[in-house]
Structures are given as C-alpha cells and as structure tokens.
Amino acid sequence: MLCTPVSAAEPLSSVFSLHGFGTLGVVGSNEDQADVVSNVYLQPDGAGHTDTWSAGVDSKLGAQVDARISADLSGVVQVVSKRGHDGSWTPGVEWANVKYVPQPGLALRAGRTVSPTFMFSDTANVGYANPWVRGPQEIYGMVPITYLDGVDLTWNTGFGGAINAFQASFGGNTFDAVGDTEISGDRLWILSNTIEYDAFAMRLGYLSVDLTFDSTELDHLFGGFSALGATLSTAGATTSGQLASALADRYTVDDTRLEMISLGTRYAPGNWLFLGEWARISDAGLLPRTTGWYATAGYRMRKVMPYVTYATLDSEARSPSGVPLADVPGDLRPAAAELNAALAAALQASAPAQDSIALGVRWEVLDSAALKFEYQHIDIGDRSAGRLGNIQPGFEPGGEVDLLSVTFDFVF
C-alpha cells in the first residue's frame, strides 16, 4: 500500500481498488556546463546546460491497483511514468507482486517489489509522502536500483511498546541507463531491521549485489587497456604492460560485488520532524568507496512545514589512473595518453563529492495535495562533478550550484 492517505482510493470492486499519485515540478539551475537530474544513471539531462528551467526532473504520474483476494492473499501492480534514461516518458512497472500472510506479523511476497534500500525507498515515487522536493541525492543517488524481481519476507513483532520490523529481500534487476549502458544487479540481497518506539524510529540496513555495467564506451576503454598491455609486453615494456592489463581488470564492473551498510533515524515529537541517514558503499571496479549522510529538521505550523537539510557525500580517490607515459615506447604514447585521459574522466565521473544545504517549505494546500518550494546550494568537490549529469567539456570541478525547485504533489 502507498504510505499516503488511502481514503481517496477508488474502489473498483470488492476485490480491486485504485490509487493514483503524481508530481508536477519545475527546477532551475545556474550551472551552464552540467545538468541537475533526478539520478545520474537514470536521466540523461535536466536543468542547467540543456535548459535553465526543466519540468522533466521531478514530474511523474503513477497508478496502483491493489487486489484483496482473501484475508491472507493480496496483490499489487504499480505503474509509473517519469522521464527515463532515453528522455522518453514511457510508463514502467515498478511493482507487480503477490503477498501472502500465513500468520499475523509475517508476510511473504513474490514478484517485482520495491528495492528497500533506504528509509523512504517505498515512497520514492510518491512525492506527497516525502517531506522534501526530492530525496537528498547524497544518499538516494547512491544506488540506482529502484526495484527487484524476486522474493521478500517481512516479520513484525512487538515488545515493551516498541515495534520491530525485519525485512529480507532477494532477487535481481537489469535495466537500461544513460549513455547506452545496461546495468545488471544479480544475487541482490537487502536486509533491514527497523525499530519504532513512540515518536522515534531507527533503521539498520545491508545490501549486497553482483554488479555489471555493459557499456560500449567502457568496453572500448578497458579493451583498449588490455590491448595496450599485450602490445607493451610484446615490445619488451613488461612492467608497463602488466600495469595496463591490471588497470583493465581492476576497474571493470563485471559481476563485481558491491556492498552497502546504512543507518537511518526518524524522530517526530509533537510538531517537530527530525530525519537522518548515513550510508557507505564499498568499492566495486570503477565505483569507489563512497560515504554520504544527511540531516533534516522541520517544524509543522498547521498546514505549513518549513525545513532545512544538510547533506554531504565523499568518495575515495583512485590510483593509479593510467600508465606512466615515460615508460611507454614513443610510437605507443599517443594511444596510451588517450586511454589515460579517458580513464581519468571515467574515474572522475564515478567519484561524486559534494556538500549541500537546502531550505524548503511544504504547504498542505488540500487534504491530499502539497505545494513545496525549495532552495538548494551545492558545493561540488574539487575533483568531482558531484551528482550532476550531462557533463560538458567546459565543466570545471569545485564550483558552486544554486537550485530553485517548485513541486505540486498529489494523491488520489
């Protein structure tokens, strides 16, 4: 079920019910050499270089049909239309699963389910259910897998006034991404445990996935290093040849294990709302070890809630980033220099670093609709493009970006 009021749901029959949700949004950016996007893997362009203002970053429309087959058996299908990796608005199936409840507190699901990576993953597409215009990208941009095809188990227990929810998910996902890339996540495990007591909740999570990036550009890059390594070894430059081959092996993302641990908290005493999440992913080929966190504080005043969010993201520097040209025979140096430059660009693009602060306000204009205004200032890392996408040749790392966003979120 949606984590939103369901009184607006339209009963199709005694078995089926229909829910809907959507966001109409526009965001503006003062960065003219890159774009603000919803996710660097999932959206090709947005606000900034392409257009100063964009309605395609946050806007979306979704529908969900729930089926109550019996007291212990149900099903759900959720379809969402949002701007995808190819710039189209083709609707996609986010959820399609059946749920069986063999006993109170225990639920089993099979099919396509949300990838429960973070605290707000269940409602990532439902803007009305989230306090911000968009989830802090320092956390919610870490893992682009939004759903998985497989099975999961949820076990809820109560003790001493507290509620404990354990969830285990297993499956996989393959999807198209920006830049003619196909991303596959196999043997995907997500484990989480959430404890709620009164106004406080804490969530601990773990993710493990075998990741593959199938990209013509990356295949050409790493294939080039492998070929260079073989050529250098044949030419007698054995050390440089071994290094070139090792670079290809080290940075290739091919069935490469990636792990993540995360911690989230929520505290909502009275009119106050405090949120925070921290996560760290291990290095996986081209992807470096990355750590991010955010903290949000808001205060509800009747139908208005101003809020502030501070977030940070940092990645470890990778080395070596190429073959020393001094050790390469003269006739092979141009090719080696070209490969070094391409690898350096790929490492920079895959190592996000930024700090941001956002000031926003949420206004409940209707019982099932909210208007949000948000200003965000981003400091980009010195050797990074942060969470920006569509990077242009003239982009310079280490700059500052200002965003202004307005969204209208609704459920029906």
**N-term to C-term CA, the chain:** 13
Least confident stretch, 16-20, 143-147, 172-176: 143-147
Q: Which residues of 70-95 are buried (b: 16+ CB within 10 A; e: fewer)?
A: eeeebbbbbebbbbbbeeeeeeeebb
Q: What share of the chain is helix, strand, coil (3-state, %, to 5)?
A: 15, 50, 35
CB atoms within 10 A of CB 292: 26
Phi/psi of residue 325, nearest 5 degrees: -65, -25
Sequence-separated (6 or more) residues with CB below 8 Å from residue 393: none
Least confident stretch, 199-213, 266-280, 330-344: 330-344
Q: What domains can you pick out in the chain, each with its CATH number?
A: 10-411 (2.40.160.10)
pLDDT in tens, 212-245: 999 999 999 999 999 999 999 998 889 999 999 9
Structure tokens at 144: 């682009």
Contact assessment for residue 354 and residue 229, using Cβ atoms and an 8 Å cutoff: no
Ranges of H-type helices in 151-283? 216-234, 238-251
pLDDT in tens, 86-127: 999 999 999 999 999 999 999 999 999 999 999 999 999 999
> Which pTM was predicted?
0.92
Strand partners, 304: 301, 363
pLDDT in tens, 346-391: 998 899 999 999 999 999 999 999 999 999 999 999 989 999 999 9
DSSP string, 288-346: PPEEEEEEEEEE-BTTEEEEEEEEEEEE------S--GGGS-GGGHHHHHHHHHHHHHH
> Is residue 380 classed as helix, strand or coil in its secondary structure?
strand
Cα 249 to Cα 213, 254, 255, 278: the distances in Å are 14, 9, 12, 30
Q: Tell me how far apart the alpha carbons of residues 332 and 405 are, in angstroms, rounded to a whole number.
A: 50
Q: Tell me how far apart the alpha carbons of residues 347 and 286 are, in angstroms, rounded to a whole number.
A: 7
| Average per-residue pLDDT for the chain | 94
CB atoms within 10 A of CB 297: 15
Express as a percent the part of the chain with pLDDT over 90.
Answer: 90
C-alpha torsion angle, residues 163, 165, 166, 170 (rounded to 10): 180
Confidence of residue 10 (pLDDT cuts 50, 70, 90): low
For residue 4, the model assigns a pLDDT of 44
Residue 105 CA neighbour count, 13 Å, CB half: 9
